[in-house]
Chains A and B, each alone.
Chain A
């Protein structure tokens, strides 16, 4: 029996090692490449670890942002930090607004009886089935006509609508887990519905609200299609757009491209690892519970 247990453990750890290499290997290679000289990247066989650790490409991005054209670094490197800030602004605003508007919309769906409740729930879910590409065409057309193209506010607005159904779904399933007795007790003490939401539901839903906000931030951070179509200049480029400008340009050095890639995934990866519990519970309840 002991022998069998040992074999089981060996098989498990071989599989686990393969999984580990598969999940973090490609990303670690990107990080390692970003700390090398351009000429080292062209070595055959490749150099696994940077030696020495070269920070030139990172410095380029900071110098480019500060000195502009005088720095002599490629255009994409100069505008990268600005796009990074834009991404933070868009993703942060979407997370805050989506959770606020989403919580108020989720409460009646979870707790109130009214005609059209099922219809509303279905409409919110069904809106996610329409492919973004088909909506993008009229949205771009209208945004250009009314002068809202190339504005970062438009990106907040558009992303909001794709995130909101998801947030509402997640929050209403969370609200349902809060015992009804607590709400009744509040009502007996004379709370209005609004006070019930503010004093009982929201404070007790903090973990659910946190999951929703983090997921909203991460999904918006990675959004590409609308960021691409609704931006025309560095003032509204998000980091995913600048990454695509890097990746499709053959004249920029490999190490600059790679560094931009690494920098633009640092926020989502840090968030994901720090808040992994919230994310996993949010992902599971968002897609499962009715």
Chain B
């Protein structure tokens, strides 16, 4: 919006003002995001291992072609997608159910909505610690509850084997991600005018029919945004893996985030680590664009 007041002559142009006002923030962002990004591209094109100093040299795309031929890339990629898809599905279904509940009027609704912020505020590392305790093979609450209800006959190491480790990892991860998704979906639900439902009721539409023909189509733009957000987050999962499973057992939860970490900071191969990180970034970006175009088209129809 341009000001309707004529600019006094002594004042500088809007462009110059914009430059000065945004300079501190832009400089900080450039120094810590753009410059490192350029360096990461540089590193990914080099043989750069801290264990063998003095042997750094330019190797072109060799790091990339090496990864693309290596099961150490494809296996974690598959694990990452398994995890991300499961997590997004769980998060979307549960937060849709919760937001439908919180969209109803009933005493206590405000308190419930506020308490959603409890899991949201828990840092991912503490969340991992919490679930490590809940899932403890000898003393964990989950084992105790399952045992008392007769679901299992003896205590088990839930994080010790597939597929249970993946299931519990998804549950633990989703627990702190559901609240934000719920709040977003709830705000989407609240934009749907109530009289649409009323006229549908007059027309004799049942609850399930109303959900399919009114709620879901009108919620679709918000649903698309949440799916894209959650997918981007889930693809770069790292914190919870670090504390809860360390990629194990036997690489069952070795996602790309963990692979990058071990490659770079344990094996100290910065070139290989940078190139696999670039691959993850490219995949994430491509998916975000694909989803955006695909889901956006769906909305228009």
List chain A positions with a Cβ less than 8 A from chain B: 9, 12-13, 15-16, 19-20, 23-24, 26-27, 29-30, 33, 41-42, 44-46, 101-102, 104-105, 107-109, 111-117, 120, 124, 127, 129-135, 137-142, 157-158, 160-162, 164-165, 168, 180, 183-184, 187-188, 192-193, 197, 218, 221-225, 228-229, 240, 243-244, 246-248, 254, 257-258, 260-261, 264-265, 268-269, 271-273, 276, 279-280, 283-284, 287-288
Residues on A with beta carbons closer than 8 Å to the beta carbon of B17: 108, 112, 114, 193
Residues on A with beta carbons closer than 8 Å to the beta carbon of B184: 283-284, 287-288
Is the Cβ of B21 less than 8 Å from the Cβ of A105?
Answer: yes
* B232 in the interface (beta carbon within 8 A): yes
Kindly identify which residue among A115, A141, A287 contacts B270, using a CB–CB cutoff of 8 Å: A141
Q: Which residue of B lies closest to A120 (CB)?
A: B22
As a 0/1 sequence over residues 254 to 290 of chain B, the CB contacts with chain A under 8 angstroms (1 = contact) are 0001001100110000100110011011001100100
Known: A131-B281, A188-B5. Contact between A164 and B25, CB under 8 A?
yes
Is the Cβ of A131 less than 8 Å from the Cβ of B280?
Answer: yes
List chain B positions with a Cβ less than 8 A from chain A: 1-5, 11, 13-15, 17-19, 21-22, 24-26, 28-29, 31-37, 39-40, 42-43, 98, 101, 104, 106, 108, 112-126, 128-134, 136, 138-139, 141, 144, 147-148, 175, 179-180, 183-184, 187, 225, 229, 232, 236, 238-239, 242-243, 246, 257, 260-261, 264-265, 270, 273-274, 277-278, 280-281, 284-285, 288
Is the Cβ of B25 less than 8 Å from the Cβ of A104?
Answer: yes
Nearest-CB distance from B284 to chain A (Å)? 6
Is the Cβ of B28 less than 8 Å from the Cβ of A101?
Answer: yes
Beyond A141-B43, A224-B242, 10 additional contacts (C-beta under 8 Å) are A108-B22, A132-B236, A138-B40, A138-B43, A160-B28, A222-B125, A247-B129, A257-B133, A272-B120, A276-B114
Is the Cβ of B14 less than 8 Å from the Cβ of A137?
Answer: no
Known: A27-B130, A139-B32. Contact between A134 and B112, CB under 8 A?
no
Residues on B with beta carbons closer than 8 Å to the beta carbon of A41: 139
6 CB contacts below 8 A, A to B, read A29-B141, A45-B147, A108-B21, A112-B18, A129-B281, A161-B31
**7 closest A-B pairs by CB:** A222-B123, A134-B277, A161-B32, A108-B18, A138-B39, A105-B25, A272-B121
Is the Cβ of A261 less than 8 Å from the Cβ of B28?
Answer: no
Bound-complex Cα distance A134 to B281 (A): 8
Residues on B with beta carbons closer than 8 Å to the beta carbon of A271: 121
Residues on A with beta carbons closer than 8 Å to the beta carbon of B25: 101-102, 104-105, 164, 168
Nearest-CB distance from B241 to chain A (Å)? 11
Is the Cβ of A131 less than 8 Å from the Cβ of B5?
Answer: no
Known: A46-B144, A134-B281. Contact between A264 and B24, CB under 8 A?
no
Residues on B with beta carbons closer than 8 Å to the beta carbon of A240: 123, 125-126
Is the Cβ of B288 less than 8 Å from the Cβ of A27?
Answer: no
Residues on A with beta carbons closer than 8 Å to the beta carbon of B285: 129
Bound-complex Cα distance A185 to B32 (A): 39
Nearest-CB distance from A238 to chain B (Å)? 10
Known: A141-B270, A273-B114. Contact between A157 and B28, CB under 8 A?
yes
Is the Cβ of A45 less than 8 Å from the Cβ of B144?
Answer: yes
Is the Cβ of B125 less than 8 Å from the Cβ of A288?
Answer: no
Known: A26-B130, A240-B126. Contact between A104 and B22, CB under 8 A?
yes
Bound-complex Cα distance A217 to B5 (A): 38
Nearest-CB distance from A278 to chain B (Å)? 11
Is the Cβ of B15 less than 8 Å from the Cβ of A114?
Answer: yes
Is the Cβ of B40 less than 8 Å from the Cβ of A129?
Answer: no
Is the Cβ of A180 less than 8 Å from the Cβ of B114?
Answer: no
Residues on A with beta carbons closer than 8 Å to the beta carbon of B122: 27, 222, 265, 268-269
Is the Cβ of B125 less than 8 Å from the Cβ of A273?
Answer: no
Is the Cβ of B29 less than 8 Å from the Cβ of A104?
Answer: no
Is the Cβ of B280 less than 8 Å from the Cβ of A247?
Answer: no
Kindly identify which residue among A46, A224, A258, A283 contacts B123, using a CB–CB cutoff of 8 Å: A224
Q: Which residue of A lies closest to B176 (CB)?
A: A222
Residues on A with beta carbons closer than 8 Å to the beta carbon of B28: 101, 157, 160-161, 164
Q: Which residue of A lies closest to B100 (CB)?
A: A15
Is the Cβ of B243 less than 8 Å from the Cβ of A244?
Answer: yes
Residues on A with beta carbons closer than 8 Å to the beta carbon of B141: 29, 46
Q: Which residue of A lies closest to B139 (CB)?
A: A42
Nearest-CB distance from B279 to chain A (Å)? 9
Q: Which residue of B lies closest to A124 (CB)?
A: B29
Nearest-CB distance from A109 to chain B (Å)? 7
Known: A132-B236, A187-B5, A193-B17. Contact between A272 and B117, CB under 8 A?
yes
Q: Which residue of A lies closest to B38 (CB)?
A: A138
Nearest-CB distance from B77 to chain A (Å)? 14
Residues on A with beta carbons closer than 8 Å to the beta carbon of B133: 30, 33, 254, 257-258, 261
Known: A135-B36, A137-B273. Contact between A221 and B239, CB under 8 A?
no
Residues on A with beta carbons closer than 8 Å to the beta carbon of B35: 138
Is the Cβ of B277 less than 8 Å from the Cβ of A131?
Answer: yes
Nearest-CB distance from A275 to chain B (Å)? 9
